[in-house]
Amino acid sequence: MGSDLVRDRLRDAHVSATSRLAFPECQAGIARAVREGRVPVRAGQQLTRAFDRRWDEILVLELDVDLMKAAGSLSWRHPLRGGDAIHLASAITFRAGGHDLAFACWDRRLWEAAAAEGFVMIPAEAP
């Protein structure tokens, strides 16, 4: 997967930001990988602890009324699921605050929507 690529970019970033939704999604992804046997239990526990520590360093965008409405509008412009629309709306909101950022994802629809919204994408090619 692209964890090494993201880790390298995060190390070089001045500020990392994400939607509040990312916390349960990442935890669920680790848990699923453990349940499916793709990640050993001990490694999953280590990943969870590392993620918990890193979370405190990330700027978290909350889902307020404006962000909620922006996500809804994005759902009409792009074929996105609700959670993905929230992630993209969060990134657009953060960028509108004058921040330069890259958008990392491995979901093709979200990747294409973020690229269409003008983000520098990680990975550079659609998944």
Q: How confident is the model at residue 13 (pLDDT cuts 50, 70, 90)?
A: low
Q: What is the Cα–Cα distance from 50 to 55, expressed in whole angstroms?
A: 9
Q: What architecture is the 3-122 domain classified under in CATH?
A: 3-Layer(aba) Sandwich (3.40)
Q: Do 103 and 119 contact (CB within 8 A), yes or no?
A: yes
Instruction: Give residue limits of the domains in the chain.
Output: 3-122
Phi-psi region of 39 (alpha: psi -120 to 50; beta: other; left: phi over 0): beta
- The pLDDT assigned to 11 comes to 59
Q: What is the pLDDT of residues 71-120, one digit of tens each?
A: 999 999 999 999 999 999 999 999 998 888 889 998 999 999 999 999 99
Spell out the residues 6+ positions from residue 22 whose beta carbon is closer than 8 angstroms to its own: 87
Q: What is the pLDDT of residues 23-43, one digit of tens each?
A: 999 999 999 999 999 999 999
